[in-house]
Structure 1
Amino acid sequence: MKNILVILIAIFLVSCSENLDELNKNTKDPLEVSGESLFTTAQKEAVDQVAKQHVNWNNTRLWVQYACETQYRDETNYDLVTRSIPQGHWSRMYRYTLKNLEEAKAIITDTTYPSTENPAVKENKLQIIELMQLYSYSILVETFGDVPYEEALDIDVLNPKYDDADAVYRDLLDRLDAVIATLDPAHGSFSTGADNMYQGDVASWLKFANSLKLRMGMLYADVDNTFAQTVVEEAVADPVGLIMTADEDANYYYLSSTPNTNPDHVTLVLSGRSDYVATNTIIDMMAGLNDPRMDDYFTEASGGGYVGGVVGNQNTPAQNWSTFAASIKTPTKPGVIFDHIETEWLLAEGAERGYNVGGSTAESHYNAAITASIVHWGGTAAEATTYLAQPAVAYTTATGTWQEKIGTQRWLGLYNRGFDAWTALRRLDYPTLPVPTAAQSGFPVRYTYPVVEQTLNAAGWSGAKFGGANDLVTNRLWFDVADYSH
């Protein structure tokens, strides 16, 4: 009798519903999202991916030996497979960044804004989205080489072809020129809350676009010098200008609470783990040069002084070695994807190559970059002057070719920016890094492709220059003509 009563009540309740579909609706999630909110999400995903230190997604800080591991040491020893590192990077750049940006572009294009909004604002939004896509693709190409590009974001193409890395990169530069020509600083773009880099300031986005052009153009210096010189000199001469001061840096501003903190705060603090310590590579070099940034980068070891772990070893317990300074671990530390310090390094290199970069010498840009870096990390101009006066640091007396001088100091100055330091190291081949104690391969100069691509898109993967049996971490990409064999 009780069961019959329950059934009758259920029938009554269902019969009272005019629309059964209403019962299946999720009332907690929005039915639609704005293009602006998708842009905000994609912007964070892109910066998170290049800014974080994480064994599952970004090993570049381990490879350039800013940090090494403690209990687990696979990634320090160039193991990309155990934790599927390429898959993590691939997914975050394609699925969470590029696809969200593509959807944001489509929604904003189709959105009818109030009649009071200037159409130029909408166009600026679309161009900024385009710029973030170009930046994201540049990271993918610099990481893997050939990648899906023309068919990559087409939902009707399940197995996109891989496009030639050089051709893709040149096309990105063409599209970048179009962005620079179209962005209009006389009008606004995203609101402050939607843009956590430049708060919608179009003039700042233009400087970032032109600075990105400078960086991408320099990538060709060893493989197509004429092309590189043309692109670099166009960027330098453009009245748009370059990122030359700290307030123009391309920073992503994180918040103080999860899930919007700097990802390093999650990895190094909230995780409650001690998986990483400083390497003896960087500690010993900085100590030998009396580098004033030592206490800005690292803490002292438990036994006193600055002590780096051995790359490739189990460096336990972590307290025996120097770890990361408090400023590295703060939740609101900005994520940097380009800054005025990097501009100076690029201009120093351009001057050495004989490019017209405004008349200043390589030495003056070298000095400016080092000074700006020391001040950025909390030092003083006086400390920079003292540091630069040392024969081992001064441009005229430091050891080696200009590649070694600039490459070594740039590596020190790019600390905590793994992807950018890795690319600079592959290009200039300095400084010389020791081989990890249990290295599984030679120095990785590219990521291998994700295993899922090998299984689900075998035709595309096999057609890539470094696909199939040639999918090795030691195969140099098109811009990397020097053999990194240190």
Structure 2
Amino acid sequence: MKKNIIIIVLLGMLSSCTKNIDELNEQTKKPTAVPPSALFSNAEKNLTDILTSPSVNYNIFRLNVQHWAETTYQDESRYNLAGRNIPQSFWNSLYRDVLNSLAEAKKAIPLQDPQFTTAGQRRNQLAMADILQVYAWSVLVNTFGDIPYKQALDIDKYPLPVYDDAKTTYYDLLTRLDTSIAALDEGEAAFSSSDLLYGSDIVQWKAFANSLKLRMGIIIADSDPAKAAEVIAAAAPEAILSSSDNAVFQYEKAPPNTNPVWVELIQSGRHDFVIGQTFADSLLAYDDPRIPLFFTRDAAGGYSGGVIGGNPTNKWGTYSKPADAIQQPAFESVLIDNMEVEFILAEAAARGIQVGGTAVSHYNAGVTASILYWGGTASQASSYLAGKGSYANQHGTYREKIGFQKWIALYNRGYDAWTEVRRLDYPVLPAPNRAVSDFPVRYTYPAQEQTLNTANYKNGSTAIGGDLVTTKLFWDLY
């Protein structure tokens, strides 16, 4: 009897312990809903981090365009994308950390309490989130070609999304951009200080969106001149026409919101990156006033760059390094600016597109904007443009003249510089020592796509002409 009582008591205790066992799975400290403003801020920072970081795990664009060189590990300088599965990290970061955050923000925006947000404010928020999505999508398309697009952000419905045609996706992004620009209302609020780019200044957001449209227009200038002219002519008057409207992400002095260059080079104690020989020699040949603004002095007291792809003399202590300024924890990052807009207008004018001004006037404005941004003076810019840096003294056609100077001006913006080198085919970069491939004009698809989304991966690869770093994208005709 006593034994039975003990068993009953134990069973009762067990029952009471397991009756509400499902409650153990509840995450009491996890919020049931994340404010759209937080999701938007997170996406802005993640997008900027991805494009700014020099991490060899996903962003090797400074090495691709030979602005920088490596002195210890040479795989990335030699165009080896597979060693660290670099494309997969870049792909996942954009889909997971940027596009998904913005998709969740767009779901949450309409659900906000109307007591605290107006209908106009919510429209502005949706438009801003979509503009940032267009930016991120354009990066993916211009990196890989065909990508999962329409089915990509609904994992429950489409766990294995199909690959959409890159050109079709690109033109859809242009349509979305027009719709979002039209939806912006300067008389309404948006995300307030949660917008880390512009503090929800809608006038500046319109300039940012039109500058993105301008960039997307010039990218298709070879493949579809008529469409490009239409897009550029519409966007040019409303683009970033002053450096005060530059899309700048301001990092902070203390972690965790610090400049990714500082994180990778200073905080991590990495001694591997130096200025690339190709870049250093080019600037030295033109007596460029930005040399001391871009580089530190080398061991001999001058300026020199490391061999691209390395050799036994490539020592970190020997060559010029990235300037101290860009290694500061609070150094800003640029998503798009007046300098880039001026170079786009210069090229558009050279192509015969009516944007006001001439190729030379916009070229001069772009060079000047770059020199001033980096801390040079108006006098230095004038002297440079009157001498070796003048449009007339640049070699070749407008593609070579503008391509060369834009490559210089896009220093520390490796992804954008890579896009321009691919698109304009200038400057012609020498092959790295022991290169594993020709110059990469796209990232290959992630290994995870090959193994998990096999059928769609194969269809996408076939559609673009093969999953190779040398397969040109739809707009890259030369």
Report the TM-score range of the alignment, normalised by the length of the smaller protein: over 0.9
Aligned equivalent of 2:350, options 342, 352, 368: 352
CA change 1:356–1:174 in 2 (3 A) is same
Aligned equivalent of 1:299, options 296, 300, 305: 296
Question: Partner letter of residue 347 of structure 1?
Answer: L
Unaligned runs of 5+ in 2: 1-8
Structure 1 equivalent of residue 4 of structure 2: none
Question: Partner letter of residue 349 of structure 1?
Answer: E
1:368-418 deviation digits (Å, cap 9, x = unpaired): 11111111100000001111111x321123321111111101101110101
Structure 2 equivalent of residue 259 of structure 1: 256
- Does structure 1 residue 402 correspond to structure 2 residue 398? yes
> Hey, what's the Cα distance between the residues in 2 that align with 1:50 and 1:466?
28
CA change 1:466–1:445 in 2 (3 A) is farther
- Does structure 1 residue 338 correspond to structure 2 residue 336? yes
> Hey, what's the Cα distance between the residues in 1 that align with 2:232 and 2:240?
14
1:48-77 deviation digits (Å, cap 9, x = unpaired): 111111110111110000001111010110
Structure 1 equivalent of residue 117 of structure 2: 117
TM-score relative to the length of structure 1? 0.92
Contact residue 464 and residue 473 of structure 2 kept, 8 A = no
Contact residue 70 and residue 77 of structure 2 kept, 8 A = yes
- Does structure 1 residue 218 correspond to structure 2 residue 224? no
CA change 1:472–1:37 in 2 (3 A) is same
Deviation of the 1:113 alpha carbon:
3.3
> Hey, what's the Cα distance between the residues in 2 that align with 1:296 and 1:328?
9
> Hey, what's the Cα distance between the residues in 2 that align with 1:117 and 1:452?
41
Map 1:6-405 onto structure 2 (within 5 A): 24-114=25-115, 117-155=117-155, 156-192=157-193, 194-237=194-237, 241-314=238-311, 316-358=314-356, 360-390=357-387, 392-405=388-401
Deviation of the 1:21 alpha carbon:
5.2
Deviation of the 1:30 alpha carbon:
2.9
Stretch deviating more after TM superposition (13-22 or 473-482): 13-22
Aligned-pair RMSD on alpha carbons? 2.1
> Hey, what's the Cα distance between the residues in 2 that align with 1:477 and 1:395?
29
1:128-174 deviation digits (Å, cap 9, x = unpaired): 00111111000000000000011111121111110110110000001
Deviation of the 1:186 alpha carbon:
1.2
Question: Partner letter of residue 451 of structure 2?
Answer: T
Question: Partner letter of residue 287 of structure 1?
Answer: L
Stretch deviating more after TM superposition (176-185 or 466-475): 466-475
Question: Partner letter of residue 323 of structure 1?
Answer: K
> Hey, what's the Cα distance between the residues in 1 that align with 2:462 and 2:321?
37
Structure 1 equivalent of residue 5 of structure 2: none
> Hey, what's the Cα distance between the residues in 1 that align with 2:324 and 2:262?
10
TM-score relative to the length of structure 2? 0.94
Unaligned runs of 5+ in 1: 1-7
> Hey, what's the Cα distance between the residues in 1 that align with 2:173 and 2:465?
28
> Hey, what's the Cα distance between the residues in 2 that align with 1:432 and 1:466?
29
CA change 1:467–1:318 in 2 (3 A) is farther
**Partner SS state of residue 449, structure 1:** coil
1:346-383 deviation digits (Å, cap 9, x = unpaired): 0000100000002x111011111111111110000000
- Does structure 1 residue 426 correspond to structure 2 residue 427? no
Contact residue 69 and residue 277 of structure 2 kept, 8 A = no
What is the number of equivalent residue pairs in this alignment? Answer: 469
1:202-255 deviation digits (Å, cap 9, x = unpaired): 111111111111110111111111111111111124xxx210111101111211
CA change 1:13–1:381 in 2 (3 A) is farther
Contact residue 108 and residue 122 of structure 1 kept, 8 A = yes
Contact residue 258 and residue 330 of structure 2 kept, 8 A = yes
Question: Partner letter of residue 471 of structure 2?
Answer: N
CA change 1:104–1:275 in 2 (3 A) is same
